[in-house]
Structure formats: C-alpha cells, structure tokens
Structure 1
Amino acid sequence: MRDADRAAAGRSPAHLAEKSGGTQAMTSMQPLWWFALPVLLLPVWWHMRKRERTRTDLLATARFLPAAAPQQQRVLRWSDVPLLLARLALLAALIAWLAVLAMPWKGDTVFIDPSLESSPWAAQQVQSAGMGAATREPLPADLWNWLARNEHEWRPEARFLILAPHAGMPALPPHLAHAADLRLAPAAAPPAAAPSAPPRERHITVSAPAERLPRWQALFAAFSTSADGASRYVISDTPGAATELIVWDRPGAEPPASWKAPLWWRTASKNGKMQTPQGLTWTAPQWPLHDVDAARALYERWQAATAPPSPYPMPAQTLKAERNKPLPIALARSPEWLALALLALFAIERILAHARRR
C-alpha cells in the first residue's frame, strides 16, 4: 500500500467530509422561480433608453432657410452603470430568495434525545459510529418530516446519527438524500415497587326507568373492577362536560337535544352503529346485558374504541441515501444570509438612485 493510500485510509469520515466540503453546490427548494430570470432584462431596457432632452435655440439666420420638421434619432447607450448593476443584483437576489436558494454547509450531525445527553450509552454509540467530531443537535419531535424539510442545509456527503429511547414508525418509509443511522437506547428496568396510581374517574350518564337503573349500576360496578381497577365509573342522571358515555334506556322516547357525548348506548330493535349530531350511537335490542360473555365483549369493544392510538415502534436500522438531492418543498425557508444580502442591495440601489437625481 502506498503512503497516500495509507493516509487516506487512516482519516476519519468526518475529516473526509470536511475536505470534500468545498465541492458542494447550492440547492434550490423552489426551482420554478428561476423561470423569472428574464425579468433581469427590464433594468437593461430601462437604462438603455434615451431619457435626456436636448434644448433647441432658434438662430437669427434660420429664417432664411426653408422650414423642415425636426428629426430625432434615438441612440442606445449605457448610462448609470453602477445603478444598473445594483438593480440587476437586487432582482437576482430576490429571485434566489423566492426560489429558496441555500448553501449546504452542515456536516455530520448527531441528533440526540435530551434524556440521553449524559448517558454512557450515547457516548459509546457516537464513538463507534466514528462521529466524535460531529455536530450535536436536539432530536426534533417529528423527526422524519423535519429532516425532509430541512436536509437541504446539509452537505451531500453528510451523515445522520439518531440516538433516541424510542421512535414511532412513520406511515411511509423515509426517503432521504443523506444516510441515517437510527439507534435506540436499551429499555430501562422498571422500578422495584412503584406506587399504584389512583383509579381514573370516567363519568357516565344513565337515563333509565327506576326498575332498570340498579342493573345498569351493577354493570358499571363490574366494569370498575376490570383492568385491575384502573378506572372508576361515576354515574349521574344528567351529562356534563366530562361525560364520555350516555346510556338512554327509554324506548320510544327521544333524549333532550342539548345532551351530547362522544358515545351513546340506546335501546333499539336491532344492533347497529350510526353517527348523529349528538354523538356516536350504539344500539341494541336489550339493555343492560345479562350475559357475562356479551358484557365482556361490549367492554372490550368500548375500551378499544376509546383508547388513544399508540404509535407502532420503529426498530433500530440504517437508512441509505435514496435521493440525489433533497426534495423541493414549498414550505422551506430561505437562509438568513440571503435576506440580509437582499436588504443590503436594496439600500445600495436607493442610495445610487438618489445620488443620480442630485
């Protein structure tokens, strides 16, 4: 092996990325704005017009000459070249700002969850990935969508190391322009003796005849003992803001229009489910249920319908770069340096225009 090969083999990926950083090209997130470049011809046309008028004086001997209509010849010539250049640069900077022109300047980056900042596991993962000199940034909340919107700020050869305690599976596989390595921290051991949390109160409204009300109370008392007593069902006769279920066990009668809840149980001729302005309604021919298996099935169906969705965990994996350049995104923002350049060029153009009038 030659000395040059040995030197290249001994360099870290971060060093190689820094060396090749001078070859990066600018990235445009809204390239259709570049079709507005012909607007740069307007200042050229404006400056090449002859706008100066020559003063005409009559000579005393001109009365002996035959009358002739005056003729003017328009001469195209450059005028106020510094002002012309300032206006051209101002329009070019404006189009670049609208096209979200960005210079990718960031290198290898470690996205780390704040809870893992000081953990030995995170330091070990950074060293094993060869990204000890990489920049560290806090882990965004919506990681994959955030990377798709902002990865134009990173150089093409940059890599991502993602350290998190867990990650939710996205609806679609991430297709990024940079390689990303997702590593998940090992699950922490559960505490030895965690105190039991008090049961959560769940408010229920029951409207039923007096002879059927004890059966509903017995049914919800049985539900309170389910799931290790994590929920306690509080029964009332009128709904409130916290009511999540209304039981209307009065066949042939309609509930008040002001009663509203996310879920209703009503007595009807057949089983069914329909959405009404007052809430989602489940119907059954006989309430309350007397069969233990039917009551258990109803309880499980109720809990599954009201349980908050939990994201499917995403396993640790290495994602290869699947795009040559970042996606053109309409919501991407132009960099701050381009806005400052636009403001400076506008000030210069105004100063030169004022100096020409003077």
Structure 2
Amino acid sequence: MSDFLIVGGGVIGMMTALQLADAGHEVTLLERGDCGREASWAGGGIVSPLYPWRYSAPISNLSRWSEGYYPELSLRLLEETGIDPEYCQKGLLYLRVEDEAEALAWARVVGKPLERVDSDFLYAKEPNAAPGCDGALWMPTLGSIRNPRLVKALRARLSAMSRVSLKEGVEVIGLRRQEERIAAVETAIGEFAVPEANGQVIICGGAWAAQLVESIGIRLPVRPVKGQMILFKAPPGLVSRVVLMDGRYVIPRGDGRVLAGSTLEEVGFDKTPTMEACDSLWHSATRIVPALADCEIEHHWAGLRPGSPDGIPFIGRLPGFDNLHVNAGHYRNGLVLAPASTRLLVDQLLGREPIVDPAPYRPLRC
C-alpha cells in the first residue's frame, strides 16, 4: 500500500507525486480522466502572474520560487522522457500599462528586472506588435512553457517510476472517515484503503476540490472559473515572445503557432466553447498583433480554473483530520505556482523546513 494517495492528476497532483517519489515514498495517484487534461492543459503556460505587481505577497513569494525552478524541471523532464516541455525565456512586453509607476516601484522592491523601453526597442523585439505605441514595459527574465507537453512529460516520468502507481479513469466519489482520519478513498471501481499507520491523502482536484471534500462535511471555498483560448496557425517568427495588452495576451510556440487568451467567466462547470468568446479573443489578439488577422484559427477550447476568494491557494492539512491535506484554489496561477505550492506541501508532509511561511495558505482560513 502507498504512503501517499493523491486525488487529482493535474500539474499540482503530478508534481506532488514526483517530489514524494523522489524522496523515496510510495505514491498512488487517482485521476478520473487522463492526467493533465483539465486546467493544466488548457492554460497558456506563462510562468508568471500576468501583472505580478498587482498580487499579494503570498502569491508573489510562490511565483518567484517557481519561476526559478522551471528551467531545471524542463531540462530534467527532457532528459528523462525525451519530451521537451519547451521552456522558453524570451521575456515579456507589456503594452499600455496604466499603473506603470506602481509596476516599476514593485520591481525595485523585489529586485525584479523591469524597465520602461522606447518604441525603437519595442519594435526591434516585436516588429508586428500593435502599431503606434510610444514604448512598453519590458521584463526580460519572464519565461513560458508549453503546458500540454509539460503535463505529457510529467505523466511519462511518473509512469516510469516504480514508486508511483497512476490510476487513470478512476473517479473519486467520496472519502470514508474514521474518527479524525480518512480510512479510505471511495471510487467508482471500489475503495482504496489508506494505511492506518502513516497513510496520507492529498486532494489536488482543482476546480472540483470542494466537491471532493463535501462528503465529509468540509466547505472549501473553491469554485470553477471558465477560461477560453484560441490558437492561431501562424508562420514561425510572427511573434517571438509573450506580449500583453489590456489584460489579454499572445504566446508564441516553437513551431510558430500563437495562443491568445483568455476569458474569465463565472458559469459553473460549463466548459463549452462559445463563438462570443472566440470573437472577443480574436479581436484582442489582432489588436496586439494585427498580422494575426491573416492567420487561421486552428483550435478553440475552454478550461475551468479553481477560483478562490482571494486567489491564494489552500495548501496544508485540513482542520479536524490527521491525514487529509489539500492543494487547490490557485485560480489563474496554477501552472505559475505549481512547483512552489507542491514543494511547500511536501515540506510539511515530510517534516522539512518549508520554503516559505505556510500560514497565509492554511486551509479554511476564509
């Protein structure tokens, strides 16, 4: 039997499993569908909050730690699996930033490279960017990762590890409580018993995390927030780096394709793509890079982010239980915060010194 039973096979669940297995523990991961096919697959892959100076310290602390970890993780996964997550660090250009002074002040405080650049610099970097800009903010250290390939590489690595048992197509329908511990995880194919001595259960269910703990009387304020994106079949070189304007962004991929996102919709668990959103994303993308108007929209999809009241994830042991933990509620920053948030939880699980103060992330703080 496994020391740790993880519910949810997105990037949070898989990175948790990887770290626990690296530390020598037996891990079972339960995923109702295919690993990495929900929000982890649907996002854009920018390894930073969109406007990082607008976020609270708890999010910024996790973000900075994660940003430094992604290059190492990407190289490791490429070496171990042959799948390239395509981590790319070409910086980000912010166009038409209203709170520019606040952004530059934030950068000085945290020591983050961010500067005001003129139009010559802007169009030398991105000749096809929106015309008529007198300059931009430039963050040279920002990177992005091709998240569908990241989750594919994580799944391949876990599948090859003898300490990890991946159970896909296994829907969790409840948790069986025995006094102050979880005795078993109930699924559509039967129970998975939790070892009585030291077995731990970790909920990494993303937008579905609240539903997973309702069966034991816990109300976790995590809700689904729909986001839609489109993919342009663009020629290589049309866009070379992430460009952000008016809250929307374009992200280039290594083969020339360009993602554009994203919407924010409070519509419950509805993941149906809509033409209204497609049109809105197309107009935003073609304002950022007008030449995209000549490119075919190759794909249009939607995903569900795990929203939380303040955007700060819930990380840690759930009150009233000795062996039940959660890592959910990352809102728009699941991929951004995944390395640090999973490391923070694993530090607590294994009794290590945590990378940051865990107090701001404690579950049920709201």
TM-score by length of 1: 0.22
Higher strand share: 2
Q: Which has the higher contact order (CA 8 A, sep 6+)?
A: 2
> Which has the higher Rg, Structure 1 or Structure 2?
1
TM-score by length of 2: 0.21
